[in-house]
Amino acid sequence: MMRESTTRPVDLRADNPVRVRPRGGFVAALAQSRETTLFVVLILLVAGTALARPQFLNLQNLRDVLLNVSIISLLTAGMTVVILMRHIDLSVGSTVGVSAYAVGSLYVAFPHMPVVVALGAGLAIGLLAGAINAVLVAIGRVPSLVATLSTLYIFRGADYAWVHGGQINATSLPEAFSRLATGRLLGIPTLALIAAVVLAGLSVYLKQFRGGREHYAIGSNPEAARLAGVAVERRVMTGFLISGAIAGFAGALWLARFGTVDASTAKGIELQVVAAAVVGSVAITGGVGTILGATLGALVLGVISIALVVLHVSPFWEQAIEGALIVVAIAADTLLARSVAKRMMRKRDHG
């Protein structure tokens, strides 16, 4: 993984990103290949589970992993954009719940509504939720932890008041909409392909466009970014709008995936999303992380979840393992940051 240097001017042009390439030592090599390390861990998890339970390696389990991880990976990608700027969005679970029930209600009222309109409605609801968070954080200067924790409860409370004990069932959904989760293209679930397209687009935005590079610049050093001409407040608002829009879109996909939704839909999922981002090497201190790493983090946690079921292990251990992985990821990130800082100080002294 590449780290932005805060000791030299940062060129934010999309065609000339500044990268620091650490040299020498195991820690430096690890800093360059965090995604590779995650991929190796993923392979070891699959291989270890397959050795213990050979039936784990079958097409159905593979499809289940892809379906289960698709929505989490989307939410993790949106969260990554926010975390890159030293913020957090805890309201994504509530946004998913509101969006899923709203799209289901639209189908109850308009059974022949096109699938594109349903997805657009989910996206619009997410944008509205993201706009509320953006105004609170970027304009109101409310710390994102406090702002999004508040909207988490506000959105969920509004959802409970609206649903009032009701439920949307799969029988209310048209076959064309349900095929988003049940359909396949070349053997790959349609839901996974949709997620892959969104993830690829967001990755290109962060790597190739000036706006994407500015997210990294703000997370690396907000004041330096401001002095370099970055419109920090506007970019922060964009980040929360992206996170909200993806959460609303994921809510519509959640409805297609599970069919039945109520006021408790996606409750607590924000903790899984934060865990996936941190395990995927997205630094909670900002400025470091990739969509690929975040997606691999979601895959690792998804494989662990299914592996524990296959191995007949208590669900308690899933949460314990997630917590341990978060601690390990943060500790590794701290060690890498210290290693890079010491190496830069030695170079400066020798220079």
Q: Residue 71: which pLDDT band, with cuts at 50, 70 and 90?
A: very high
Q: Which fold has domain 26-350?
A: ABC transporter involved in vitamin B12 uptake, BtuC (1.10.3470)
The two three-digit tokens of residue 222, written as one number = 């907000």
- Of the candidates 44, 348, 80, which has an alpha carbon nearest to the alpha carbon of residue 212? 80
Side chain identity at residue 286, one-letter code:
G
Whether the pLDDT of residue 19 is over 70: the answer is no
| pLDDT digit string, tens, across residues 215-251 | 999 999 999 999 999 999 999 999 999 999 999 999 9
Name 3's bridge partners. 20
Mean pLDDT of all residues in 169-183: 91
E-assigned strands of the chain?
Answer: 184-185, 188-189
Strands 188-189 and 184-185 turn out to be: antiparallel
Contacts of 236 (CB under 8 A, 6+ apart): 85, 87, 134, 137, 138, 218
| pLDDT digit string, tens, across residues 285-307 | 889 899 999 999 999 988 888 88
Q: Between 339 and 160, whose confidence is greater? A: 160
Predicted structure pTM score: 0.85
Q: Between 345 and 224, whose confidence is greater? A: 224
Domain residues of the chain, as ranges? 26-350
The two three-digit tokens of residue 20, written as one number = 């620091």
| pLDDT digit string, tens, across residues 251-280 | 999 999 999 999 999 998 999 999 999 988
| pLDDT digit string, tens, across residues 43-56 | 988 888 888 888 88
Q: What percent of the chain has pLDDT over 70?
A: 88
**Three-state SS for 181?**
helix
Whether the pLDDT of residue 114 is over 80: the answer is yes
Predicted local distance difference test score (pLDDT) of residue 351: 59
Predicted local distance difference test score (pLDDT) of residue 340: 65
Distance CA 70, CA 62 (A): 12
- Of the candidates 330, 258, 322, which has an alpha carbon nearest to the alpha carbon of residue 67? 258
Q: Residue 330: which pLDDT band, with cuts at 50, 70 and 90?
A: confident
Whether the pLDDT of residue 7 is over 60: the answer is no
Q: Residue 6: which pLDDT band, with cuts at 50, 70 and 90?
A: very low
CB neighbour class for 268 (10 Å; exposed up to 12, middle 13-18, buried from 19): exposed
The two three-digit tokens of residue 217, written as one number = 């610049």
DSSP string, 101-156: HHHHHHHHH-TT--HHHHHHHHHHHHHHHHHHHHIIIIIS---HHHHHHHHHHHHH
